[in-house]
Amino acid sequence: MRAADLLVARRSGYNFAFLDEHSKREVRRALLKAVAIPGHQVPFAPRELPIALGWGTGGLQITLSLIGPRDVLKVIDQGSDDSVNAVNLRRLITRTTGVRTTTDTRRATIIQTRHRVPEESLRADQVLVFQVPYPEPLRRVEPSDVQTRRMHAEQDYSRLWVYLYEDIVRWGDVTIPHRYPVRVHGRYVMDPSPIPRWDVPKLHRSPTLGLFGAGREKRVYAIPPHTRVEPLEFDDHPFRVEDFGGERCRRCGSGRSFLSAIYDRATGRRYYVCSDTDYCERRIAGGAAQRAAAP
Amino acid sequence: MSIAPAPSAVPPAADAQPLLVLERLLKIYGEGCPDCVARTGPAAGTNVCPRCRSVVACGDLSLRLDPGEIFGIVGESGSGKSTLLRCLYFDETPTAGHAYLTPYEAGRVDVFAISPQRRRYVRHHLLGMVYQHPHLGLDLDTSAGGNIAEKMLMAGTRHVGRMRERARELLGRTEVPLDRMDEPPRRFSGGMQQRVQIAKTLANNPPLVLLDEVTTGQDVSVQARVLDLIRSLGRSLGLAMIAVSHDLGVIRLLAQRTAVMKNGRIVELGLTDQILEDPQHPYTQLLVSSQL
Ligand SMILES: Nc1ncnc2c1ncn2[C@@H]1O[C@H](COP(=O)(O)OP(=O)(O)O)[C@@H](O)[C@H]1O
Ligand SMILES: [Mg+2]
Ligand SMILES: [Zn+2]
């Protein structure tokens, strides 16, 4: 079904936010349990959606289950508001709810995201919804679900630690670029979704509720506000975020945001821009305003 | 008239507190029935219950182990030796019985009855197990050092440098070349894999190590080297061990005291030398005369 058809579908009887109330309640029930056990994966039964599995259906169902008419929605994909995936998801949500949307992180009440946490500090009156492809942080070391469930139950994370140890022995440092495993509330080890390491510290004691949805794997989990979120690290090999070697965003000049490398075919050189486009735009606009205000 | 003190007035010799007390361990594979124990054992000549076909792998085994003691268990294949060790190491859940380890809650708590979390603590801090097959005790695709680190990580160590230092020390003790520390044991010979397994077992200084047929299937020269190593480790680290083998020759080299098992029962228990010189049970007599 194309998104445009949905408008018609809605007129012909689709419920607010596409899902029926019963389905939303089921998702919210799973989310309540997830919030009660921070970092613990809770099974839920995904509904049919006009979006293919693997394209953010887990996050989408969370958003659809929570959203109300007065919410202001922001959807980003790798930090960008206008990638195709973000546009499609945003269109589906607005056409079935009529809610307002924004690209301004500060104005959004619900932010659905794939692979990034916005640079802007988030607040307690906002909810951050993550699209998760692989919810199981132990999958790296254990293929069986029965085993990973037992390992979580017994807090047996030694094999993940061995994985980090081997990484350090082989490469001198932990090489995991994204999906860096974190321990939540001192208990469950959790996959924070494919965010870069840069974003991991932002989850620690954040005032914002973080909700994670994996549609294909039928799991939701949560980080309640102000929860301890600690990357797995050794005393003598502390966790580190990406180092851009002093590079700055070519557009806004920021040296304090997560940068995407861009290869310039004309010059054969590589340059950097902010991955968070809203943050970047606002800095550019702010700079322009400052210049305009200057005598 | 002199009055001899009544026996009850003599204080009992203050026995050193045992390290391990195992009481009436029962392990049945299968449904089990009320007749299982009575109808199996050496007298019946089988460990399979004729009524319900369950296997009584360990029937009512009791033993005590002193700190630093090497205790041997010998018996034919299928007599229940490995099952006994697996129950002690929590690889198997006993059907019934109790076990007390003095370093855990001063020996007052039955470790067969504690939570899985507590069991993991006992398993990784107080016990070590060397399996007959190295792949059961090692991840053959993780480096030798990583295997040792794993045991330390289970006990909460979070310092790479210290783990590597300890791995070097242990691999040195077990005579594994240090330049192979970062290689996966899959590339090692069987004897060297076994020595890595022993090193891993020792990582957290456990007071009790369980050894299951550590030398079975190896060349005689490799066997001798591993046995020497075990004896010297026992002596220098003050480790207590339970060494299981079907080979009386191995037990004779290692153990001060020995239990002889058949059909899931201990048929004889005593000083190894005495058992060898003056076996009491007909099965032990057969074993001694055939093997030595
Ligand atoms: N998982 C199992 N299921 C059923 N029977 C088993 C299992 N493991 C061992 N047994 C049986 O228990 C008995 C004791 O086995 P085991 O402890 O391995 O003996 P040993 O180590 O002395 O050779 C044998 O009859 C064996 O077949
Ligand atoms: Mg055996
Ligand atoms: Zn029976």
Q: Quote the ipTM score.
A: 0.86
Mean pLDDT confidence for A47-67 = 90
Final residue of a structural domain among A231, A257, A282: A231
* pLDDT over threshold 90, residue A49: no
> What pLDDT score was predicted for residue B1?
42
**Contacts for B79 with CB less than 8 Å, ≥ 6 apart:** B47, B261, B262, B263, B264
- DSSP states of chain A as a string? --HHHHHHHHHTTPBTTBS-HHHHHHHHHHHHHHHHSTT--EE--PPP-SS-TTSSHHHHHHHHHH--TT-EEEEEETTBTTSHHHHHHHHHHHHHH--EE-S-TTT-SEEEEES---SSPP-TT-EEEEE-S---GGGGT---HHHHHHHHHTT--HHHHHHHHHHHHHHSS----BS--EEETTTEEE---S-BGGGHHHHTT-SSEEEEEETTTTEEEEE-TT--EEE--BTTB-------TT---TTT--SSS-EEEEEETTTTEEEEEES-HHHHHHHHHHHHHHHHH--
Q: Do B120 and A159 touch (CB under 8 A)?
A: no
Q: Do B163 and A165 touch (CB under 8 A)?
A: yes
Q: How far is the first Cα of chain A from the last one, in angstroms, to the nearest whole number?
A: 56
* pLDDT over threshold 90, residue A104: yes
Three-state DSSP class for B265?
strand
> What pLDDT score was predicted for residue A11?
55
The DSSP symbol for B101 reads E
> What pLDDT score was predicted for residue A1?
40
**Contacts for B222 with CB less than 8 Å, ≥ 6 apart:** B189, B190, B191, B215
Give catalytic residue positions of A.
Answer: 39, 249, 252, 274, 280
Instruction: Identify which of B107, B47, B113 has the alpha carbon closest to the alpha carbon of residue B83.
Output: B47
Has residue A95 been placed in a domain?
yes
Shortest-distance Cα residue to atom 11 of ligand 1? B57
CA A149, A153, A154: angle at the middle one, nearest 5? 120
- B120 vs A154, A169, A233: nearest CB: A154
d(CA B123, CA A16): 55
Residue A157: closest CA among chain B residues belongs to which residue?
A: B154
Q: Which ligand is nearest to the CA of B216?
A: 2
> What pLDDT score was predicted for residue A13?
64
Residue B157: closest CA among chain A residues belongs to which residue?
A: A234
Count of CB pairs separated by less than 8 Å, A with B: 48
Residues around the ion ligand 3 (C-beta < 5 A): B 33, 36, 49, 51-52, 54
Has residue A237 been placed in a domain?
no
Residues contacting ligand 1 via CB (< 6 Å) = B 29, 47, 55, 57, 75, 77-83
Let me know whether A288 and A208 are in one domain: no
User: Would you place residue A8 in the very low, low, confident or very high pLDDT band (cuts 50, 70, 90)?
Assistant: very low
Q: What is the pLDDT of residues A122-147, one digit of tens each?
A: 999 999 999 999 999 999 999 999 99
> What pLDDT score was predicted for residue A127?
98
> What pLDDT score was predicted for residue A10?
52
Residue ranges making up the domain that contains A95: 2-140+150-231
Shortest-distance Cα residue to atom 26 of ligand 1? B78
* pLDDT over threshold 50, residue A113: yes
Let me know whether A164 and A283 are in one domain: no
Q: What is the pLDDT of residues A244-259, one digit of tens each?
A: 999 999 999 999 999 9
Q: How many CA atoms lie within 13 A of A207 on its CB side?
A: 7
Three-state DSSP class for B189?
coil
Mean pLDDT confidence for A172-185 = 95
Radius of gyration of chain A, Cα coordinates, nearest whole angstrom: 20
* Strand intervals (E) in chain B: 20-29, 55-65, 70-75, 96-101, 127-130, 208-212, 240-245, 257-262, 265-271
d(CA A16, CA B94): 56
* pLDDT over threshold 50, residue A178: yes
Q: Could you tell which of B28, B55, B130 is best to mutate to test the pocket of ligand 1, judged by most ligand atoms within 8 Å of the CB?
A: B55
Q: Between A48 and A32, whose confidence is greater? A: A32
Q: Are A90 and A53 in contact (CB under 8 A)?
A: no
**pLDDT in single tens digits along all 292 residues of chain B:** 444 433 333 333 445 689 999 999 999 999 999 999 999 999 999 999 999 999 999 999 999 999 999 999 999 999 999 999 999 999 999 999 999 999 999 999 999 999 988 999 999 999 999 999 999 999 999 999 999 999 999 999 999 999 999 999 999 999 999 999 999 999 999 999 999 999 999 999 999 999 999 888 788 888 888 899 999 998 899 999 999 999 999 999 999 999 999 999 999 999 999 999 999 999 999 999 998 7
> What pLDDT score was predicted for residue B171?
97
The residues facing A72 across adjacent strands are A100
* pLDDT over threshold 80, residue A6: no
> What pLDDT score was predicted for residue A2?
45
Q: Do B160 and A155 touch (CB under 8 A)?
A: no
Residue B155: closest CA among chain A residues belongs to which residue?
A: A158
The residues facing A15 across adjacent strands are A18
- Determine the atom of ligand 1 nearest the C-alpha atom of B58: 14
- List of chain A residues whose C-beta atoms are within 8 Å of the C-beta of residue B143: 166, 169
Q: Do B150 and A159 touch (CB under 8 A)?
A: yes
Give percent of chain A with pLDDT exceeding 90: 86
User: Would you place residue A116 in the very low, low, confident or very high pLDDT band (cuts 50, 70, 90)?
Assistant: very high
For all residues of chain A together, what is the average pLDDT? 93
The DSSP symbol for B48 reads B
Q: Are A261 and A276 in contact (CB under 8 A)?
A: no
d(CA B48, CA B141): 38
Q: Could you give phi then psi for residue B85, rounded to 5 degrees?
A: -65, -40
User: Would you place residue A95 in the very low, low, confident or very high pLDDT band (cuts 50, 70, 90)?
Assistant: very high
- List of chain A residues whose C-beta atoms are within 8 Å of the C-beta of residue B145: 169
Ligand 2 centroid to residue B262 C-alpha, Å: 12
Let me know whether A157 and A23 are in one domain: yes
Q: Could you give phi then psi for residue B57, rounded to 5 degrees?
A: -70, -40
Q: Could you give phi then psi for residue A284, rounded to 5 degrees?
A: -65, -45
Give percent of chain A with pLDDT exceeding 70: 95
Look at strands A182-184 and A229-231 and give their pairing.
antiparallel
Let me know whether A160 and A14 are in one domain: yes
A173 touches chain B (CB under 8 A): no
> What pLDDT score was predicted for residue B291?
82
* Min Cα separation A186/chain B (Å): 13
Ligand 1 centroid to residue B46 C-alpha, Å: 12
Let me know whether A281 and A221 are in one domain: no
Shortest-distance Cα residue to atom 3 of ligand 1? B29
Let me know whether A47 and A172 are in one domain: yes
* pLDDT over threshold 60, residue A149: yes
CATH of the domain at A109: 3.40.50.11310
Has residue A239 been placed in a domain?
no
Final residue of a structural domain among A231, A255, A278: A231
**Which amino acid belongs to residue B204?**
N
Q: What is the token pair recorded at A287?
A: 């700079």
Please state the pTM of the whole predicted model: 0.88
Let me know whether A168 and A283 are in one domain: no
Let me know whether A166 and A274 are in one domain: no
Q: How many domains does chain A have?
A: 2
Let me know whether A261 and A220 are in one domain: no
Instruction: Identify which of A48, A46, A55, A45 has the alpha carbon closest to the alpha carbon of residue A14.
Output: A48
- A165 vs B120, B154, B160: nearest CB: B160
